[in-house]
Amino acid sequence: MNDSQPAPRPPEAAQVPAWLKAFGALLRPWIRIHRTPEDVHALLPDDARPTVYVIERYGLSDTLILEQACAEAGLPSPYAAADELPIKRRRAVVALSRRPRVFGRQPHPTRSETLSLLADFVRAQPGHDVRLVPVSIFVGRAPDRESGWFSVLFSENWVVVGRFRRLLALALNGRDTHVQFAAPVSLRDVIADQPEPERGVRKLQRILRAHFRRIRAAVIGPDLSHRRTLIDGVVNAAPVQQAIDANASKEGIDRDKAARKARAFAWEIAADQSHLVVRSASFMLTGLWEKIYRGVHMNHFAELRKIVPGHEVVFVPCHRSTTDDALLPYLLYRNGLPVPHIAAGVNLNLPLIGPLLRRGGAFFLRRSFSDPFYSTVFREYMSQLIARGISLMYFIEGGRSRTGRTLEPRGGLLSMTLRSFLRQPDRPVVFQPVYIGYEKIMEGESYIGELSGKPKEKESWGALLRGLGALRDNYGAVTVNFGEPVFLTPLLDRIEPDWRVATTNPDAKPAWLKAAVDTLGERILVNINRAAHANPINLLAVALLATPKHAMAEADLLAQLELYKALLSSLPYSERVTLTSLEPAEIIAYGEKMQWIRRIAHPLGDVLTVDAKQGVLLSYFRNNVTHLFATASWVACCFLNNRRLARTSILRLGRLIYPFVQAELFLPWSEEEFGERIQKTLDFFIAQGLLEADADGRIIARGPGQSDRAFRLRALAHTLLPAIERYYIGLALLVKNGPHTLTAGELENLCHLSAQRLSLLHELNAPEFFDRSLFRGFIQKLRERRVVWADENGKLDFDLTLEEVAKDARVILSREIRHGILKLTPEKQAELTRNEVAASTEA
């Protein structure tokens, strides 16, 4: 390098050529720019350093779009910025790749002469620097519904297109142009540690190319043009090769046949995502959502956008409806993120539908992973996706919730994701919980049937065609809330500080893996619940289903809704929980409009009621948000059968029951935090006039049982009361039968039958009241906390303290409910259990 470099040249006004102005004027009506971030000035500090814009690919259209974006953002245009450069250039723009010229000397395809000259200058002038601003430009990433089907063919992708195709893209999709500015890069900082100037320039270009690849992958998705190469990589991976050898030996077949079997597994599993199909689906779904929903609302998406670059993102939404599979990917795509690869059951791989889903990004998995050969191939496929930085989406609840409750997590896919990360821990993994809240679901009728004992209808073309009739209805609004993300590395650091040792053996299954998967699954579901949305239908369901006949006087319903809104606003469950903006009267009017509730006119005041069938369906929407009212409902439960209670008694009983409520509803607090929340809730009720405290605040009392205040507390208590009744069923049956009498399975059957009987006697028509899985989870939590344990014969044992716990239920439950539970004799229970077991065996 020549040591005597010229000082910065005197500025000479850079004039935009007249022909370029003409092209810009012609292009401007066709271009509408969506700029990220909106306030670009926050990225560019006000200093004297000259600015050079860096774009990914050279093109006249990109230069004109950049100039228009700079003008709209109030930044110096590329031509005005050239005045400040220390080298003579017409415009302050650097393109990392260029098209070949038709005439003249061909430019180097990847080396920039401008960057080399600027690097020479900065090296020779210690007091000077140049800031490089990367700018990503995408034309027609997601065409609007009005753009026409033809426009999707000319949207942005990974292919470097020619001038004519670019012109068509501008004409068809120019009004959906995305320009993304990035934080500036200091040229001096990058080349400072390089002994040779050209090496510094090559390093800078590698950094910039990596940046543009990352942004392009984040905006339009990864390059998916090599599916066959990916499958070859799966089959040729060492774990699959070992599985091929094992399978050939086990089944006594030729190794080539075993290899073909592995390849068939991979082809059965692998997605074949097509940007064209994704864009076409986006186009079609826009019309569908507009037809069946009154609006689709998103919250906390900006926080997600910040973490996507540089992370492997795994979307883990709750699973409430079949539309979840399409709705969330659609929203991600329409808001600037790529469509993830979506895990789908192989039962959806129907003729015609399966290939379409596969092209949309679905990869298929079998319901059972009992075949270790298939399991190895599937796990390797997941590892290949993660290694390539392809975002994933799957439901950790296993299937759709038929009751509206958050279901227990299934650890299969979580375990595979975690093990894939351990093999290649360079790219950080983040799990993004997503809450999806509906006001009406298409599957309502089928859910009622399945909960009443009808078998689930298998997926088929016939079922699909029958389901098309549901598209004629309107299903209200949908709210999609993005919860607090779960970063995998910090979570592993807390569980096992030496987890990185496992990365030295890619096939290892460390002893702490199960604990990590369980903790991860629970944390995801907790964060889904912490992002819930309380919509008008949720609030109406919580209020009206708390009454025996599912009816309330309008004045009472207005007061109850006002209480719920005040409670959720004054004691927010978390910062990501959202609440309907409608006032109580508007909520009632909306419920009538959606035909969930019916008004009965009466001279003494109208009554709002729910029909029997609608009541069962509304229990689904009540269960969506039960966790939001858990603490308040517990406090209200304490005053169902008591006029006065000591504050310490409420706290003691709350801490006693909390582990079981926490496990069932995936609540976020520790026992100490739950105690603090009880204190705040008591203070809230006292401030609302629903409870009263004595002079020193130790004794809490409610008003007379027939007062409006007592009625409002009773209605609120009903939200958690069925869970407490279920717990008492389990404890009472254990105590009454005695230790060393029942196995865990027999106790579960007894609980299920007792709850069924109670629901018939007391009109407890909530479908989840006698749900086996809830009793199973309760018994498991009893065992985890060593309240009960299994003896050498598998029978449950416990000490006498359990009897005291069962007696505490008298504080909460009415005598009528307790009598109904205790009425079953041990002999009758044993007979029912034997019959139930026999029936299950025959089935």
pLDDT, mean of residues 55-77: 84
> Token pair 């659609």 is at which residue?
330
Cβ–Cβ < 8 Å for 86, 118: yes
Confidence of residue 60 (pLDDT cuts 50, 70, 90): confident
**Element (DSSP H or E) covering residue 362:** strand 362-365
Q: Which of 47-51, 251-255, 669-673 has the lowest mean pLDDT?
A: 47-51
**What is the pLDDT confidence band of residue 3, given thresholds at 50, 70 and 90?**
very low
Give whole-number Cα distances, 190 to 119, 522, 534, 690, in Å: 10, 43, 50, 66
Share of the chain above pLDDT 90, in %: 36
Mean of pLDDT values over 144-167: 54
Q: pLDDT digits over 518-568, tens only?
A: 999 999 999 999 999 999 999 999 999 999 889 999 999 999 999 999 999
Q: Is the pLDDT of residue 732 over 50?
A: yes
User: Measured in whole angstroms, how far is the alpha carbon of residue 438 from the centre of its chain?
Assistant: 15
Q: How many CB atoms lie within 10 A of CB 792?
A: 7
Lowest mean pLDDT among 17-31, 469-483, 724-738, 816-830: 816-830
Q: Report d(CA 552, CA 113) in Å as an integer.
A: 78
Instruction: Determine the Cα–Cα distance for residues 541 and 616; give it in Å rounded to an integer.
Output: 10
Q: What is the pLDDT of residue 145?
A: 41
Averaged pLDDT, 710-734: 88
pLDDT (0 to 100) of residue 131: 87
CB-CB contact of 641 with 808 (8 Å):
no
* Contact (CB, 8 A) for 480 and 436: yes
| Residue pair 181/135 in contact by the 8 Å Cβ criterion | yes
Is the confidence at residue 25, as pLDDT, over 70? yes
Question: Which candidate, 172, 215, 434, 180, places its Cα nearest to that of 338?
Answer: 215
Confirm or reject CATH 2.60.40 for domain 227-529, answering yes or no: no
Q: Taking 60 as the threshold, does the pLDDT of residue 11 lie above it?
A: no
Residue 530 backbone zone (phi > 0: left; psi -120 to 50: alpha; other: beta): alpha
Q: How confident is the model at residue 468 (pLDDT cuts 50, 70, 90)?
A: low
> Is the predicted pLDDT of residue 1 greater than 50, yes or no?
no
Only one residue has tokens 């609030």, namely: 539
Average pLDDT over every residue of 616-626: 91
- Does residue 127 or residue 10 have the better pLDDT? 127
The pLDDT of residue 724:
86
For the whole model, what pTM was predicted?
0.75
CB 406 within 8 A of CB 529: yes
pLDDT of 104 > 70? The answer is no
Rounded-to-integer distance, Cα 61 and Cα 95, Å:
13
What pLDDT sits at residue 206? Answer: 85
Residues with Cβ within 8 Å of residue 601, at least 6 apart in sequence:
none
pLDDT at 150 exceeding the cut of 60? no
* Tokens 């049937």 found at: 449
- Neighbouring C-beta atoms of residue 445, cutoff 10 Å: 12
Q: Looking at per-residue confidence, does 361 or 106 come out higher?
A: 361
For position 341, what pLDDT does the model report? Answer: 94
Q: Kindly compute the dihedral angle of the four CA atoms of residues 240, 246, 248, 249, in this order, to the nearest 10 degrees.
A: 170
Q: Which residues contact 306 (CB under 8 A, 6 or more apart)?
A: none
Task: Compare 68 and 801 and report the one with higher pLDDT.
Answer: 68
CA–CA separation, 194 and 205 (whole Å): 14
SS3 content of the chain, % helix, strand, coil (to 5): 55, 10, 35
Taking the alpha carbons of 706, 708, 713, 718 in that order, is the dihedral positive or negative?
A: positive
Q: Which of 216-230, 244-258, 465-479 has the lowest mean pLDDT?
A: 216-230
HSE value, Cβ hemisphere, 13 Å, CA-based, for 202: 7
- Shared fold status for 533-620 and 625-716: yes
**pLDDT at position 763:** 58
Q: Which of 61-70, 314-323, 555-564 has the lowest mean pLDDT?
A: 61-70
> What is the predicted pLDDT for the residue at 715?
93
Phi, psi dihedrals of residue 108, rounded to the nearest 5°: -65, 135
Give residue-wise pLDDT tens across range 777-788: 888 888 888 888
For residue 472, what pLDDT is reported? 72
Cα gap 750→814, rounded to integer Å:
21
Report the pLDDT value the prediction gives residue 489, as an integer from 0 to 100. 94
The answer to which of 225-229, 415-419, 752-756 has the lowest mean pLDDT is: 225-229
Structure token pair of residue 147: 């753009």
What's the pLDDT band for 656 if we cut at 50, 70, 90? confident
Instruction: Give the three-class secondary structure for 667.
Output: coil
Collapsing DSSP to helix, strand or coil, 641 comes out as coil
The domain spans of the chain are: 18-220, 227-529, 533-620, 625-716, 721-842
Q: Which pLDDT band holds residue 282 (cuts at 50, 70, 90)?
A: confident
What value does the mean pLDDT take over residues 159-183? 73
* Listed range (12-26, 171-185, 630-644) with the worst mean pLDDT: 12-26
Please, which pLDDT band fits residue 286 given cuts at 50, 70 and 90? confident
Confidence band of 808 (pLDDT split at 50, 70, 90):
confident
* Structure confidence at residue 562 (pLDDT): 97
Number of C-alpha atoms within 13 angstroms, CB side, residue 423? Answer: 22
Please give the pLDDT value at position 624: 94
Alpha helices in 237-371 (DSSP H): 238-251, 255-269, 275-292, 301-307, 324-334, 353-360
Mean pLDDT of 161-176: 69
Q: Which region among 51-55, 68-72, 456-460, 627-631 has the lowest average model confidence (pLDDT)?
A: 456-460
CB-based contacts of 185, cutoff 8 Å, min separation 6: 131, 132, 133, 134, 204, 207, 208
Mean pLDDT of 247-257: 91
The confidence score (pLDDT) of residue 161 equals 53
Task: For residues 478 and 241, give the distance between their C-alpha atoms in angstroms, rounded to a whole number.
Answer: 46
- Other Cβ atoms within 10 Å of 781 Cβ, number: 17
* Max avg pLDDT among 66-75, 226-235, 520-529, 653-662: 520-529
Nearest CA to 141 out of 131, 149, 151, 132 is that of: 151
- In a 13 Å sphere around the CA of 371, the CA atoms on its Cβ side amount to 15
First to last CA, the chain: 85
Strands 341-345 and 699-702: unpaired
* Residue 230 pLDDT greater than 80, yes or no: yes
Q: Which of 5-14, 452-461, 715-724 has the lowest mean pLDDT?
A: 5-14
CA–CA distances in Å: residue 729 to residues 650, 733, 784:
21, 6, 19
For residues 754 and 829, give the distance between their C-alpha atoms in angstroms, rounded to a whole number. Answer: 9
CA distance readout (Å), 162 to 22, 61, 168, 172: 21, 12, 10, 16
Please report the pLDDT score of residue 149 as a whole number.
46
Q: Give the residue-averaged pLDDT of 388-410.
A: 88
In this prediction, residue 10 carries a pLDDT of 40
- 253 Rama sector, left if φ>0, alpha if ψ -120 to 50, beta otherwise: beta
Question: What is the reported pLDDT for 4?
Answer: 39
Closest CA to 536 of 479, 480, 481, 605: 479
Overall average pLDDT of the 816-832 stretch: 58
Query: What's the average model confidence in pLDDT over 279-296?
Result: 87
Confidence band for 641, pLDDT divided at 50, 70 and 90: confident
Specify whether the CB–CB gap between 551 and 458 falls below 8 A. Answer: no
Q: Residue 732: which residues within 8 A CB-CB, separation 6 or more?
A: 806, 809, 818, 821, 822
Both tokens of residue 617? 């369906």
| pLDDT tier, 820 (very low <50, low <70, confident <90, very high otherwise) | low
pLDDT tens digit sequence for 372-387: 999 999 999 999 898 8
Beta pairing partners, 134: 54
Can you tell me whether residue 624 is helix, strand or coil? Answer: helix
CATH 2.40.50.110 describes domain 533-620? no
The pLDDT assigned to 214 comes to: 80
Please report the pLDDT score of residue 226 as a whole number: 60
Q: Decide which of 1 and 403 is more confident.
A: 403
pLDDT (0 to 100) of residue 241: 93
pLDDT for the residue 78 = 85
pLDDT for res 841:
42
The overall average pLDDT reported for the chain is 83
Domain 625-716 is of which CATH architecture?
Orthogonal Bundle (1.10)
In whole angstroms, what is the distance from residue 243 CA to residue 250 CA?
Answer: 10
Residue 581 CA to residue 374 CA, distance in Å, equals: 50
Per-residue confidence band for 463, with pLDDT thresholds at 50, 70 and 90: low
Instruction: State residue 5's pLDDT score.
Output: 40
**Using CA atoms, how far apart are residues 184 and 54, in angstroms rounded to an integer?**
10
- Least confident interval from 150-154, 238-242, 634-638, 773-777: 150-154
